[in-house]
């Protein structure tokens, strides 16, 4: 029997291609400022660390469904922070980071080669990876008119967007939900940046104004990596349609996909405490103000970017040329082509660096 390694069916890992630019940026006289990835750099709040330590001596297995306290804290945070109501405690399912969840969702939902997964035209690469792992077909489409007669099984929505920071309006989301319902498609909305909106208002797919109080075939994915600095904890969750969450729970129980108990305790504390989240949001707001002004002063146009942790910038040239331009100034950014063909003239610039590094990048750009 011949076997094709799964890795061969996947695209090259994008960031591996940045080694040359990274070396050039690192050779800058004052060192590199890495704005190519969205990894948190600020401290984890003490209330979260204390909760983590409080159950560090528990030797038993955690439950896949998560503790009752975690699920109640999640429901409460969704209502307080985003105005999302009507979510059942049992319809909360913690995940070992949302990247893991997104990558395996098509497979966990039983999709195969007969299914079509629709992803945004500019998208986080893991949406496509998830479809490939399930053997499903993919189509990049932002407008429903591009689908034509195609029958989609799953539609990924990402608002606020990574990489562009674009926020989808209420009418747009309502049309997507209506279109999907007419065709029996599942919508998975990646809402990891919902708590980091700088201009206007961002809406959850679970908002009653979007779905008219009907959660059927709707799932929302949330992460604590950005808002609570818990990227190293791998802390996220999915919620929405109780029947779909129950289906995911059963499969994940069989597969042993359990969030460690100390992480569950940390998540509970993070979701019950809004003060640390508000403080972190203001840190990012100040960094955005500093970097946005400097990028524009350097002659770039910043498109969208009304939410999230990135600036989506261009000056009308090939994105790899722009990456080299930044690297010559000791700054590493991500080429827009990582996120799809439409990103060929943009770069993504992350706000997830220390105040000192953001100030240094702004000074280099101004010079």
181 and 256 inside one domain: yes
Q: Residue 339 sits in a domain of what CATH number?
A: 3.90.1150.10
Average pLDDT over residues 204-222: 97
Q: Please, are residues 238 and 43 in contact by the beta-carbon 8 Å criterion? A: no
Bridging pattern class, strands 236-240 and 92-95 = antiparallel
167 and 230 inside one domain: yes
138 and 194 inside one domain: yes
108 and 34 inside one domain: no
Domain holding 343, by residue range, is 6-43+276-366
Report how far residue 342's alpha carbon sits from residue 366's, in angstroms, rounded to the nearest whole number.
28
pLDDT at residue number 142: 78
169 and 316 inside one domain: no
**Which residue, of 238, 273, 308, is where some domain finishes?**
273
> What are 128-150's pLDDT values in tens digits?
999 999 999 999 987 666 666 67
150 and 250 inside one domain: yes
Q: How far apart are the first and last CA of the chain?
A: 61
**Which residue, of 226, 256, 273, is where some domain finishes?**
273
The C-alpha angle 164, 169, 174, rounded to 5 degrees, equals 125
Number of domains in the chain: 2
Q: Residue 228 sits in a domain of what CATH number?
A: 3.40.640.10
Place of tokens 């959660």: 215
Residue 329 exposed, middle or buried by CB count within 10 Å (0-12, 13-18, 19+): middle
Asked whether residue 27 is assigned to any structural domain, the reply reads: yes
> What are 229-269's pLDDT values in tens digits?
999 999 999 999 999 999 999 999 999 999 999 999 999 99
67 and 91 inside one domain: yes
Mention every residue, 6+ apart, whose C-beta is less than 8 A from residue 6: 133
Mention every residue, 6+ apart, whose C-beta is less than 8 A from residue 195: 81, 82, 226, 227, 277, 281
189 and 299 inside one domain: no
| pTM of the predicted model as reported, rounded to 2 decimal places | 0.91
Asked whether residue 1 is assigned to any structural domain, the reply reads: no
């Amino acid at each position: 029997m011949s076997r094709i390694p799964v890795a061969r069916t996947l695209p090259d890992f994008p960031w591996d291609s940045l080694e040359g630019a990274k070396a050039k940026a690192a050779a800058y006289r004052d060192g590199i400022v890495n704005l190519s990835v969205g990894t948190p750099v600020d401290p984890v709040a003490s209330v979260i660390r204390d909760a983590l330590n409080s159950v560090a001596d528990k030797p038993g297995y955690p439950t896949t469904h998560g503790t009752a306290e975690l699920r109640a804290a999640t429901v409460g945070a969704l209502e307080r922070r985003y105005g999302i109501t009507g979510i059942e405690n049992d319809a909360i399912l913690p995940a070992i980071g949302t990247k893991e969840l997104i990558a395996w969702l098509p497979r966990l939902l039983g999709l195969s080669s007969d299914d079509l997964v629709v992803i945004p035209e500019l998208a986080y690469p893991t949406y496509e990876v998830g479809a490939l792992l399930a053997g499903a077909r993919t189509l990049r489409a932002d407008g429903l008119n591009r689908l034509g007669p195609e029958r989609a099984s799953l539609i990924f929505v990402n608002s606020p967007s990574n990489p562009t920071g674009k926020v989808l309006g209420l009418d747009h989301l309502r049309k997507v939900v209506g279109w999907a319902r007419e065709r029996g498609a599942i919508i998975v909305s990646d809402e990891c940046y919902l708590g980091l909106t700088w201009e206007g208002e961002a809406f959850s797919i679970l908002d009653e104004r979007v779905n008219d109080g009907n959660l059927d075939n709707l799932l929302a994915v949330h992460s604590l990596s950005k808002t609570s600095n818990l990227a190293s904890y791998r802390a996220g969750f999915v919620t929405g349609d109780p029947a779909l969450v129950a289906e995911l729970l059963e499969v994940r129980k069989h597969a042993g996909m359990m969030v460690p108990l100390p992480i569950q305790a940390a998540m509970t504390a993070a979701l019950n405490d809004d003060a640390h989240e508000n403080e972190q949001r203001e840190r990012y707001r100040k960094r955005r103000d500093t970097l946005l002004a400097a990028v524009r002063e350097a002659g770039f146009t910043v498109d969208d970017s009304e939410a999230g942790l990135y600036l989506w910038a261009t000056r009308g040239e090939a994105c790899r040329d722009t990456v080299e331009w930044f690297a010559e100034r000791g700054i590493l950014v991500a080429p827009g082509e990582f996120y799809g063909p439409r990103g060929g003239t943009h770069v993504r610039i992350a706000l997830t660096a220390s105040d000192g590094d953001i100030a240094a990048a702004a000074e280099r750009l101004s010079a």
